């Protein structure tokens, strides 16, 4: 589906992270799915930007974007009332299981997991949300997460009590949970996999996405002994089955 949508609302969380809200009825997205956002109608930049769905409620689509390059910088300059072309939703989303859950978010990886948290909350599933970022300023949606989660933990790599998601999860009684979900930088997923936690962990691999439409093959990973494209076959995979060394 290709739609030209008006930006209903724009919100800045910090100097590098903002959100765009659109009215888009008639879809039923799942956590993990994403849209390709066309930066402009010119040829530069050529590729669309794959952006995970952070929320979909009452026909309102909510995308959270971090400025990391030319394309996202151009998107950050868009204003309320302007139009953007969106394609999607793409990807195989995840239907959350009704099991006591542990959510592990790193950095901008909080975006698709926020959508997941909303689904768990709606279905009255008990869950803990552990969210790590480099600084306190980079922690977004804090009060929303505290309202939904049965327990919420926020940590930073800089500051008084320095910690990472991987180090913090070692203090959590994992046996109290039945399933876990995670999204964050590739390095975080690698270290989390090494912990070999005794529960199933589903990884939202958005950090790997390139073109978002299967053309560039830049998002290919080895999964269960076969190459898979994150954008087409994922982006949600069982963490233990990903081979990060290939």
Convert the pLDDT of each residue in 25-82 to its tens digit.
999 999 999 999 998 776 666 678 899 999 999 999 999 999 998 889 999 999 999 9
Cα 175 to chain centroid distance, Å, stands at 25
pLDDT over 90, % of the chain: 75
**All domains of the chain in start order, with CATH:** 2-90 (2.40.30.10), 101-243 (3.40.50.80)
Contact 150, 79 (CB under 8 A): no
> Which stretch of 7-21, 45-59, 91-105, 183-197 has the lowest confidence by average pLDDT?
45-59
Residue 176 confidence class, pLDDT cut points 50, 70, 90? very high
Q: Tokens for 210, please give them.
A: 């390139």
**pLDDT at position 219, please?**
78
Give the strand pairing for 151-156 and 127-133.
parallel
> Which stretch of 28-37, 92-101, 201-210 has the lowest confidence by average pLDDT?
201-210
Distance of alpha carbon 156 from alpha carbon 164, whole angstroms: 7
Distance of alpha carbon 27 from alpha carbon 103, whole angstroms: 25
Taking CA atoms, 102 is separated from 67, 72, 95, in Å, by 28, 30, 15
Q: Which residues contact 15 (CB under 8 A, 6 or more apart)?
A: 137
| pLDDT of residue 99 exceeding 90 | yes
Which pTM does this prediction carry? Answer: 0.93
């Amino acid at each position: 589906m290709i739609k030209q949508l008006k930006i209903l609302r724009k919100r800045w969380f910090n100097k590098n992270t903002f959100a765009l809200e659109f009215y888009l009825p008639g879809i039923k997205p799942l956590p993990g799915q994403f849209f390709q956002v066309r930066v402009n109608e010119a040829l530069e930049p050529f590729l669309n930007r794959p952006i995970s769905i952070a929320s979909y409620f009452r026909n309102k689509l909510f995308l959270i974007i971090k400025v990391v390059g030319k394309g996202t910088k151009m998107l950050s300059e868009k204003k309320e009332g302007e139009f953007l072309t969106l394609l999607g939703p793409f990807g195989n989303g995840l239907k959350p299981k009704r099991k006591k859950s542990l959510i592990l978010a790193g950095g901008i990886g909080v975006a698709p997991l926020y959508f997941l948290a909303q689904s768990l909350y709606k279905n009255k599933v008990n869950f803990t949300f552990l969210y790590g970022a480099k600084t306190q300023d980079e922690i977004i949606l804090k009060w929303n997460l505290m309202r939904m989660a049965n327990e919420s933990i926020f940590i930073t790599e800089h500051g008084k009590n320095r910690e990472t998601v991987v180090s913090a999860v070692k203090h959590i009684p994992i046996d109290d949970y039945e399933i876990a979900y995670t999204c964050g930088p590739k390095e975080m997923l690698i270290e989390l996999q090494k912990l070999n936690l005794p529960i199933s962990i589903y990884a939202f691999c958005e950090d790997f996405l390139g073109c978002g439409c299967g053309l560039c093959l830049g998002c290919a990973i080895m999964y269960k002994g076969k190459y898979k494209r994150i954008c087409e076959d994922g982006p949600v995979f069982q963490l233990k089955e990903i081979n990060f060394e290939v």
